[in-house]
Amino acid sequence: MINKKILTVLGTIVALTLLPVWLAQNKANSQSLQVNDSDEKKIIGTWRVRVDVDPNPIGDPPIFYGYTTFNEGGTLIESSSYSLEGSRPGHGVWKKIGKNEFKAVFEKFIEFNPITQQQGIFVFRIEEVINLTGDNSFKGFEQVSLCNNAGEECQPLGTAHTHSSRLKVD
């Protein structure tokens, strides 16, 4: 009987000692998750993007501009003024990979292979790492590939650097 009472008292002391520590840790974890969710919201919206393509096998295209819209839930839509890409939109996905750092992948159809000069349907695939540099700006690094019309059998074309500002209403 005494052993059960001692165990009950000791168990209660341990529970009362550890419970506040456990609650404090869970509250801290909960708050850090909320901060991460808040960080993700920083990229959501429409951005005006300047693309500076590095020298590559198909020549040195001029600097061109585009728009990228990052949606809640990790999807994106893109368009650009680069004539080789035509006026077709790009569709893709994005995710947070670090503090103020995101990865985006999108694809768009083109009707011309810039390497072989062949007509047909091909896919530009762009993989970009984005670093937010402020509430309304980011810098990115893109790897551009050319793929068959199923988005497979991709060949690297080159790289580009992006600079962006958020499109906003004044």
Domain boundary assignment for the chain: 1-41, 45-166
**More confident site: 44 or 87:** 44
pLDDT tens by residue, 65-77: 999 999 999 999 9
Quickly state the pLDDT bin for 169 (edges 50, 70, 90): confident
Please state, in angstroms and rounded to a whole number, the distance separating the CA atoms of residues 163 and 66: 11
Query: Could you tell me which CATH class the domain 45-166 is placed in?
Result: mainly beta
Distances (CA, A) of 148 to 71, 90, 93: 27, 15, 20
pLDDT tens by residue, 96-149: 999 999 999 999 999 888 778 888 889 999 999 999 998 899 999 999 999 998
Please state, in angstroms and rounded to a whole number, the distance separating the CA atoms of residues 36 and 102: 12
pTM of the model: 0.73
Q: What is the pLDDT of residue 19?
A: 45
